[in-house]
Chains A and B, each alone.
Chain A
Amino acid sequence: MARIALAWELGAELGHAMACATLARALERAGHETRFVFRELHHLDALPLEGRAVYQAPISLREGFGAGVPVSWAEMLLGCGYGDADELHGLVAGWIEVLRGCRAELVVADYAPTALLAARVLGLKRVDYSNGFSIPPRVTPMPPFRPDVRIEAGALAAREAAALGNVNAVLGRYGVAALGALHEQLQVDASFLCTFPELDHYGERPRTEYWGPRYSIEAGDDVPWPYGEGPRVLVYLRASDPRLDAVIEALIAHRCRVAAYVPGLDEARRARLQSAQRRVSTRPLRLAALLPECDLFLNHGGNIAGAALMHGVPQLVLPAQFEQLVTAARIEQAGAGLAVARMDVPHEVRGAFERALRESARLRRGAQAFRKRYAAFSPAEQERRIVARIGQVIAGKPA
């Protein structure tokens, strides 16, 4: 039995925190103690954490300042404090403090590269647990993740060298051996790459074990589908999305039956959306009860998109950042959904929404084909295997 810190350092939204909280419960059932170190603290109430201790993750408040959308892992790190050895040293020091403070014996890193550096300094066991985007291939150079941007090999290598230089400078200050390559930062005792090859942001990887998507559909409020005639549309979108108004109008115009989870929704728009036919919640919904009868699922393309695929439900994906944009493209490629790629053209939402309803049969076939391909996949079994493997890591046993 061990004390396990679940660390989420980069990336936004509920997905990482929800996955960590869910895994933690399984780890606790296996007798471990858990602690959380989270980047964002504002949605703790929406997570199954009860009274558990949650610490602030050390992060740079100037993330991405003055930089465009990164094209590679190294560039992303450079925008998050890795561009300056002193700043990175500060972040590593903060991680060391919190991991020491909660007396962690093993770190579960969910998109938490600096937590992995701190765990390396402290000599802690470590695993990673995330999706394709957050667990990049361990190769040199680390591949760029934006197919839409051309980048010269020289520039890519230079950024990787800059990030590696600062990582090694900081490791040196702690008397830890230098890394030979940036991807060695991500060396772990076990890697839980939670996606399918078709959804992998870096494309299908050779000799990689895929653990399947992670999502939890059992937690949340029980809201039944409203009675009536219209298509049953599930909505998981953020209130700050500039396309939300267009979504609301489309739902009303098509007389949809709606179950919606829109965190941060203001009163005016809630009043516009809410009706006997359209249920609106500011807390997560229990998807297990809704997915079987769902006709269309509107979401941003986070972990929850995997749940839709595994239930054979067509999706309209409205990505809000680059990682989700790639997921959305993969879902379109699989013929299991449509995407509204741009945030700044809300009028495109209506057309896409109508098309998704019109092509519902085709999209359902695509989603169902995906579901059949992975019929053997079970989230419960995935969780059981991950917990078992973590137990082996703690016991020092090989896989």
Chain B
Amino acid sequence: MSRFLVAWEFGEDLGHVRRILPLGRALRERGHEVAFAFRDATRLAAPARESFAAWAAPVLRRPPAFDPAPRNAADVLLNLGFRDVASLRGVQRAWDALLEVVRPDAVIGDYAPNAMIAASRHALPRATVGSGFALPPARDPLPAIRPGERADEAVLRGLDDALTASVSAAVGKTPQITLEHIFRGDANLLATWPELDPLGPRDADYLGPMGGTEGGMETAWNGAGAPRVLAYLKPRDTRFAAVLAALEASGAQAIVAAPGMHEQDAKDRSSARVRIFPCTLRLPPLLREADLCVGHGGPGFAADALRAGVPLLLLPMHLEQELVARRLAEAGLAVLQLSRAPEELAAALAGALDDEALHARAHGFARELATRSTADPAQAAAARIEALVR
């Protein structure tokens, strides 16, 4: 029996939880002990309910300014607080304390660079797991990620150097922490498909998306119109009202999951054809009869839709989502909508609903997915992690 610490440090929302919880279960089924450390401690009820050790992951101080279009993976981390040496030092110290108590045999990071650095300093075996965004291809310098821009090699290398310099200033030079320690583990598990990999496709072993949506409120389609659109939206997105209006105008029947919305607000803005729910929904029964999904480009919802053969209209809110959306658009499985103008949104929705080729490709992709490896990605990942400590 071994002990594993599974850490999530960056990224919002449920995507990380829905990936690492099944991984933890798979490790436990194999007889190991698992502790979780979550960036968002308000999500710890899920592992605690299953009697996993449930820690709050140390978090960096939020930087005063945020660049929404970082140039490469190093720049992303600098943007997320890695310039702040005092904060880095404190966070590393808190990981030391946590590792001292948990005493893991290996550390698995889902976008958890500080956990990876701490594990390196403690000479522990390490693995990464994720959707691909947190795992840049191992090139020097780390490759550019800003869409449509060819970045200068020297600029990229400067960002890489700034990142390692900041980490060295925080934790010292022995052991020397390199980009390899920060971003990559002894095993790197890509829990996605090449079509969905924001930094792909690449020469790597794709395990496939891990876990599905768990729980959620039950609801059902009714006879209030066709076609059927299932939307998963952030109510704080500035396009939210325009999307609702476009759905209303399209003549479609829409079910909108908008977790975080006020209940009364959701009720007030719902109509016979467009029903808004201020919570997560149980998606599989809805997806089976959906014609189109509308989302922001989170890989979890996109994977659910694609497995069910439903194409997507994607309205990205941040870089990772835009990269996912671009990949899916390239594969002809989604329509990427970057313009924020309400009339263009409405036109894109109407276009996506009418595009028969889009729907045919999504159906075809779902059939093809079914023929790909049948191994459960969580079990496959658990087996590779286990191999690290043998």
Residues of A within 8 A of B (CB): 40-45, 53-62, 66, 81, 84, 86-91, 93-94, 96-98, 101-102, 240
Contacts and interface: CB of A to CB of B under 8 A. Distances in A.
A54 B97 contact: yes
Nearest to A85: B45
B296 to A, nearest CB: 17
Contacts of B40: 60-61, 90
Contacts of B48: 89-90, 93, 96-97
Which of A42, A43, A84: most chain B Cβ within 10 A? A42
Given A42-B84, A44-B93, A56 B61 contact: no
A293 B218 CA distance: 70
Given A44-B93, A61-B42, 10 more contacts: A41-B94, A62-B42, A90-B38, A90-B44, A90-B48, A91-B42, A97-B56, A101-B53, A101-B55, A102-B101
Interface of B: 38-48, 53-61, 64, 84, 86-87, 89-91, 93-94, 96-98, 100-102, 236
Contacts of B44: 58, 89-91, 93-94, 97
Given A59-B41, A81-B42, A240-B64, A41 B56 contact: no
Nearest to B43: A90
B54 A41 contact: no
Nearest to A87: B42
Given A42-B61, A45-B86, A97-B55, A60 B42 contact: yes
Given A40-B61, A42-B86, A56 B43 contact: no
With a 10 A CB-CB cut-off, give which of B43, B45, B101 has the most chain A CB atoms. B45
Nearest to B95: A56
A239 B64 CA distance: 12
A60 B40 CA distance: 6
Nearest to A46: B86
Contact of B56 (A43, A45, A58): A58
Given A56-B56, A97-B55, A240-B64, A90 B90 contact: no
B90 A43 contact: yes
Nearest to B53: A97
Contacts of A56: 55-59, 91, 94, 98
B8 to A, nearest CB: 12
Contacts of A58: 41, 44, 56
20 contacts: A41-B91, A44-B86, A44-B93, A45-B86, A45-B89, A54-B90, A54-B97, A56-B58, A60-B40, A81-B42, A84-B42, A86-B42, A87-B45, A90-B46, A91-B41, A91-B44, A93-B44, A97-B44, A97-B53, A101-B102
Contacts of B60: 42
Nearest to B57: A56
Contacts of A240: 64
Contacts of A62: 42
A80 B96 CA distance: 27
B94 A43 contact: no
Nearest to B46: A90
Contacts of A94: 38, 41, 44, 54-56
A102 B100 CA distance: 10
A238 to B, nearest CB: 11
A61 B98 contact: no
Nearest to A80: B42
Contacts of B101: 101-102
Given A86-B45, A93-B44, A53 B97 contact: yes
A388 to B, nearest CB: 29
A53 B58 contact: no
A44 B42 contact: no
B91 A93 contact: no
Contact of A61 (B59, B97, B102, B236): B59
Given A93-B48, A94-B55, A98-B55, A41 B41 contact: no
Contacts of B96: 53
Nearest to B48: A93
A8 to B, nearest CB: 13
A45 B40 CA distance: 25
A55 B89 contact: no
Contacts of A87: 42-43, 45
B184 to A, nearest CB: 24
B338 to A, nearest CB: 26
Contacts of A96: 48
A44 B87 CA distance: 9
B152 to A, nearest CB: 26
A57 B97 contact: no
Contacts of B94: 41, 54-56
Shortest Cβ-Cβ A-B pairs, 6 listed? A41-B90, A93-B48, A58-B41, A87-B42, A58-B56, A90-B44
A102 B96 CA distance: 13
